[in-house]
């Protein structure tokens, strides 16, 4: 079982996050290729999280690009992302995405992070998430440094 991270916020119940759910196309990748440096971050985070990639896989490369990493890849229709995170226990899930097809998933999870990646970010996500990150590496680094999350989310 993954150890996860706990995010403490003054006056609120601590967030215990054990599952990390990621979009692939536009979030972890550009034009179907995994962005540089993410493999190291994902290996590190896999020691604390159960990592799942949920993707429509626009370029058809997710399985091959991620095959050597300690995570599970599911190619799914867009609307199924939300159902899958609910089945995982959405209250213990942190999810990252950048596309309109990630909206329902990001609304369901305990901590939603929109990523302003090289493909941009769908405007609808901004109001639906807890945090907006300048890029996916920065977003993943937040999970390695939970006090950054506390600083961003405190009232």
pLDDT tens, per residue, the chain with 155 residues: 558 899 887 778 889 999 999 999 999 999 999 999 999 999 999 999 999 999 999 999 999 999 999 999 999 987 899 999 999 999 999 999 999 999 999 999 999 999 998 889 999 999 999 999 999 999 999 999 999 999 999 88
Query: What angle do the packed helices 136-144 and 38-45 form, to 10 degrees?
Result: 30
Smallest CA-to-CA distance from 78 within 100, 62, 93, 96 is with 100
Q: Which domain holds residue 44?
A: 18-25+35-153
Angle at CA 38, nearest 5°, toward 40 and 53? Answer: 110
CATH of the domain at 111: 3.40.50.1000
The C-alpha angle 106, 54, 57, rounded to 5 degrees, equals 120
Position of tokens 């992070």?
A: 113
Q: What is the DSSP letter of 58?
A: T
The predicted structure's pLDDT at residue 38 = 98
Residue 133 covered by a domain: yes
Residue 26, both tokens = 């536009």
How high is the pLDDT of residue 142? Answer: 95
Residue whose C-alpha is closest to residue 87's, from 102, 101, 108 = 108
With respect to residue 131, please indicate whether it lies within any of the assigned structural domains: yes
- Judge whether 4 lies within some domain: no
Number of domains in the chain: 1
Give a yes or no: residue 9 inside a domain: no
């Amino acid at each position: 079982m993954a150890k996860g991270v706990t995010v403490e916020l003054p006056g609120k119940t601590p967030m215990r996050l054990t599952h990390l759910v990621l979009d692939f196309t536009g979030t972890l990748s550009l034009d179907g290729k995994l962005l540089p440096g993410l493999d190291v971050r994902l290996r590190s985070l896999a020691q604390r999280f159960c990592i799942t990639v949920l993707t429509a896989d626009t370029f058809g490369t997710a399985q091959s690009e991620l095959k050597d990493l300690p995570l599970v890849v599911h190619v799914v229709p867009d609307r199924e992302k939300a159902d899958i995170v609910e089945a995982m226990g959405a209250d213990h899930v942190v999810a990252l995405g950048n596309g309109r097809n990630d909206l329902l998933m990001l609304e369901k999870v305990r901590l939603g992070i929109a990523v302003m990646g090289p493909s941009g970010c769908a405007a609808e996500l901004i109001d639906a998430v807890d945090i907006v990150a300048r890029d996916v590496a920065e977003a993943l680094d937040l999970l390695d440094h939970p006090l950054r999350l506390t600083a961003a989310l405190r009232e």
